Amino acid sequence: MSGKTRVRFAPSPTGFFHIGSARTALFNWLYARHTGGTFVLRIEDTDKERNSQAFLDVIMDSMRWLGLDWDEGPEVGGNYGPYFQSRRDDIYLQYLEILRKKGRAYDKDGAVFFKVSGEKQVLHDAVYGDVERLEEKDFPIFRSNGTPVFHFVNVVDDICMEITNVIRGQDHLTNTNKHIELFKAFDAPMPQFAHIPLILKSEGSGKMSKRDRGALIEEYQQKLFLPEAVRNYLCLLGWNPKNGKEIMPIDEIISLFDFKGIVHSNARFDEKKMAHFNMEHIRALPIEKFSELACKAMENSGVNLAGGKDYIERVFKLAQPKAASMETFASLVSYFFTEDFAFDEAAKERVFKKGNAIERMRGAVEILSTVPSFDGDSIHAAFEKKAEELGIKFTEFFPPLRFAISGVASGPDLMPMLEVLGREKVVARLKKYLENA
């Protein structure tokens, strides 16, 4: 076995890409990148009845979306293939013959069983420390239909592919004793095992499954989450960088990632927290990248981006600090691009509850029609002057004004928003609302 780190992620193409699988792939990828090693993608496709090319495509597409590029495996190649278990039958039969010659494999009821040593095995786990167990019963390694069992192919593939570190879920900890028995029976170098904590449902009641809300990576792709935000959040499900930070670029995460930071306790999935991570990453994007994603979000929502390139860029730059997600971005800015926007009833109730809303709108028409220069500072000064004449707070103009020209009660900063919309559009909207009030 070479001294260079070699890790693997070995999914079964029998379902969509689950959060737990993504986190396992991510931890393997991070360790490979941290150590300058090799990340292998190996497909466990021996379940012919449940395997699907469509599911395999989803797994690989989702991994690419998350930025988890593999160094060896499907569509990449490598010197240790084939990387599909369904194409490795000859290899498995060769290794079975090794066990037979050593007297460690025998037939029973049509299946092939592995004869255990009867000795206690000690697992030196990089996360949980030394775990001692005795495997008391012989276990099957080939089924009666001639197909190999998970434990057998898993170990054989790790031996053949010279895997140095096995990083997988804590639920596999009970399997590891069988695997140690097999490694020793083959006189093969033992990889270092690192079992990572499980991901629990958001309410903390049991392991998260594919049926739980927010469990599939595909959902976040469809909701236009940023892959770097999902990746950042998944890093912290079971790993603590111990630097007091949560929002981090991937290069920093790679530099910090090691087994010492992996915690023992199970991690609780929190979709709201992931959404917060997503928001923070969105707001930190370079404006060019943000504009690219914003255009896609608007297109998905059926909003026509009118007004020209400069106007569109100004709108996006203004709205970015207020963007909560790309999925809802169109609702934040749609009124910049259409006169046919809806008026939020809850916002209307709040605006008119304070009284004088119509009067304030009329005052705003007068101010905005006559202010010499239609820029944020000049507009703000004009409202302050008028408010002083009336003996009121200048901010009393703002809720009715915003509602009349946008249909909502919140959004980008008002003065820059007025400046971007322009005098003609703002005044026309105010007058139209007053005519229909």
**Coil, strand or helix at 360:** helix
> Sign (positive/negative) of CA torsion 284, 290, 296, 298?
positive
Strand (E) or helix (H) holding 159? helix 150-160
Question: Among residues 15, 7, 12, which one has the least CA distance to residue 217?
Answer: 15
Strand (E) or helix (H) holding 193? strand 192-196
Beta carbons within 8 Å of 251's beta carbon, 6+ residues apart: none
Q: Are 430 and 339 in contact (CB under 8 A)?
A: no
Taken as a whole, the chain contains a residue count of 437
Binding site as annotated, residues for ATP:
210
Instruction: Over range 59-86, report the average pLDDT.
Output: 97
Instruction: Over range 27-44, report the average pLDDT.
Output: 98
Structure tokens at 336: 């910049």
Question: What per-residue confidence (pLDDT) applies to 47?
Answer: 78
| Rg for the chain, CA atoms, rounded | 30
Q: Interior CA angle at 231 toward 79 and 8, to 5°?
A: 25
What does pTM read for this prediction? 0.92
Q: Are 207 and 198 in contact (CB under 8 A)?
A: yes
Q: Are 182 and 113 in contact (CB under 8 A)?
A: no
Binding site as annotated, residues:
210
Question: What per-residue confidence (pLDDT) applies to 211?
Answer: 67
Beta carbons within 8 Å of 378's beta carbon, 6+ residues apart: 371, 372
**316-363 pLDDT, tens per residue?**
999 999 999 999 999 999 999 999 999 999 999 999 988 799 999 999
**212-237 pLDDT, tens per residue?**
666 899 999 999 999 999 999 999 99
Confidence of residue 1 (pLDDT cuts 50, 70, 90): very low
Instruction: Over range 260-266, report the average pLDDT.
Output: 93
Question: What per-residue confidence (pLDDT) applies to 154?
Answer: 96
The Cα–Cα gap between 92 and 105 comes to 13
Greatest pairwise CA separation for the chain in angstroms: 101
